[in-house]
Structure 1
Amino acid sequence: MSNDQGSTLSIENAIILFRDHLREKGKSERTIEGYCKQDLKKFVEWLSVRWVDSGTTQDLCIANVTKTDIRDLVSFWKTNTPLAASSINRQIAAIKSFFSFLNEEGYIPINPAADITVKRIQRQNQIKWLSRQQVGRLFHAIETQQHAGQLKRVRDKAILSVLVNSGVRNFELTNIKVNHVSEGSLLIQSGKGDKQRIIPIGGNTYRSIQEWLRIHEGDTEYLFYTSRGSKLTTRAVQHILKKYSDMTGVLVTPHMLRHTFAKQLAERVPRLELIADILGHSSVDVSRIYVTPSMREMQVAIESVEFMG
């Protein structure tokens, strides 16, 4: 097909051509209906509203669809809808397959969806968190270690307390300043667009911080610092946890402690909005993994009701 013909091809007619193409490829009617009557229909509806709202009068022809149109739609899906990541990825796949077909068949000279990426799915069974017993072993190792002075023991206990009891990210921990600490709360700078959030902390965590502040000797505005007096780095935090991991045999990283906090929170208050706000998630969909049963949890549940044969 020539570019002149392609420039007048309506999106509706392009979808019909795509549907016929899928049938020729042997796709099931269920897949065809999902792509054409559901996913691409949503795309056309969104595009119609977008073009009207922007004040343009252009026809709904495939030649008028730009990479920006598609990117904005996908961005909207990823950040402003309650859809699961798998549903969003199916819709993205439909759009990418649709425009790939149109480009390969010569209906459009350039594929505007070629660089669009799917939404990353973080599967719960790939996420590791610690049991309360394992966390207890880490605290015990800090309190009983013989090769560190009081300064490091108190500092390390406060670091572990903040990480596992507030769910802050490693770089957020290292950016906490002394004046960010209030009784019952912490001011957290996320570093994502200079965003800030205030999160509550429990009494035990606050007392650990206060115990550290009473012997805080660093000439720095930051809460945690190194023996040289400089701001604690994320790599230094990883090194500190690695030391206690080696001592106890409990594999631990800053992000595992974040997951541990989130999982404990979800088991007691399974509200996605609350979890997302505390953890600083951009979407409640990211928090969904903590309220979804893991394979191990499902296995335990099944074994608890299993009948004897």
Structure 2
Amino acid sequence: MTNETEIILETFVEEHLSRLQEQTLVTYKRNIIEFLDFAQIPLQDVRPSDVRKWMAHLNHYEPATIHQKIASLRLFFDYGVEEQMVEKNPIYAIELPKLKDRVPEYLTREQLMQLRMLTNRSRRERAIIEMFYATGVRLSELIAMKQTDIDWEGRHILIRKGKGKKERLVLFTPECEQQVKDYLKERADEQPYLFLNSKGRPLQSRTLRLMFEGYSKQLGFKVTPHTMRHTFAAHLAEKGMPLVHIQDLLGHDTIGV
């Protein structure tokens, strides 16, 4: 990759910081570098055939992963066209592999009860599970929550860093309120974050993922933070809530979560 291309890539990342989540940008940047290292040609010389060769090189990946990698390139080359660094975007001539229709995984009410019983051993873990289930928030949104974001009287929480940097208010249940209050009573720190790790420091996404991996092993069925998000949506749909309202609560432009 030439110095000029490196500068273009860094400028692309900087200009998209306000539009995309940081982790999304990290993934996109990695995908773009991976392609450029494979192609070994100047940016302005990239043709659809070069992208197809890369896709053939990626044939051991799932179609969804290939779609994500190509989406990274599409956005990057769109930026290149806008800034007149390349004449056209080669990605628009690419036919992507078909995606399998996937039914979102969610917990049955029996499985949810088992998860609640398992996490009763820890007020913190129990409160985390209830917050995921009661609000449908993303993992990144949960770890970013601060105590000052909660309106206890109105029983809602402000989600400040949603996808696409959108803010939204999300209601939570009396059960969630009780579990979180019980957890906070155990705290004797001055940390602003709602959830901390076992050492009293701000919670990290890796910590949560490892917790959920442990739950999956102990319960015998898969459960992840995203499973909780699907469960939130599915259980509201079962109660008859219109999909458009569920979509708003999830902070999504479409119902696919």
TM-score, normalised with respect to structure 2: 0.59
Displacement after TM superposition at 1:175 (Å): 0.4
1:37-116 correspondence runs (5 A) = 112=88, 114-116=90-92
Say whether residues 1:139 and 2:108 are aligned partners: no
Q: 1:129 aligns with which of 106, 130, 150?
A: 106
Aligned to 1:249: 220
* 1:166–1:199 Cα contact (<8 Å) kept: yes
Distance across 1 between alignment mates of 2:232 and 2:146: 22
Distance across 2 between alignment mates of 1:250 and 1:265: 22
Distance across 2 between alignment mates of 1:121 and 1:271: 29
Displacement after TM superposition at 1:191 (Å): 4.3
Q: Residue by residue, what CA displacement relative to the aligned partner does 1:211-235 show, whole Å, maximum 9, x if unpaired?
A: 1111123331001111222100111
Q: How many residues align?
A: 169
* 2:162–2:251 Cα contact (<8 Å) kept: no
Displacement after TM superposition at 1:129 (Å): 0.9
Displacement after TM superposition at 1:189 (Å): 2.0
Percent of paired sites with the same residue: 29
Q: Residue by residue, what CA displacement relative to the aligned partner does 1:233-269 show, whole Å, maximum 9, x if unpaired?
A: 1111111222222222231100011011111111223
1:218-297 correspondence runs (5 A) = 218-284=189-255, 286=256
* 2:160–2:168 Cα contact (<8 Å) kept: yes
Aligned to 1:93: none
What SS does structure 2 have at the residue aligned with 1:115? helix
Amino acid at match of 2:134: N
Displacement after TM superposition at 1:166 (Å): 1.2
Say whether residues 1:159 and 2:159 are aligned partners: no
* 2:195–2:203 Cα contact (<8 Å) kept: yes
Displacement after TM superposition at 1:121 (Å): 9.2
Say whether residues 1:204 and 2:146 are aligned partners: no
What SS does structure 2 have at the residue aligned with 1:125? coil
Q: 1:194 aligns with which of 158, 161, 165?
A: 165
Distance across 2 between alignment mates of 1:175 and 1:198: 14
* 1:197–1:280 Cα contact (<8 Å) kept: yes
Superposed structure 1 runs of 4+ greater than 3 Å apart: 110-114, 116-126, 191-194
* 1:138–1:245 Cα contact (<8 Å) kept: no
Q: Residue by residue, what CA displacement relative to the aligned partner does 1:167-221 show, whole Å, maximum 9, x if unpaired?
A: 1000100000011122211111234443211011111111111111111233310
TM-score, normalised with respect to structure 1: 0.50
Amino acid at match of 1:232: L
> Runs of 5+ in structure 2 lacking a partner?
1-85
What SS does structure 1 have at the residue aligned with 2:91? coil
Amino acid at match of 1:215: E
Change in CA separation of 1:159 and 1:124 when aligned onto 2, cut-off 3 Å:
farther
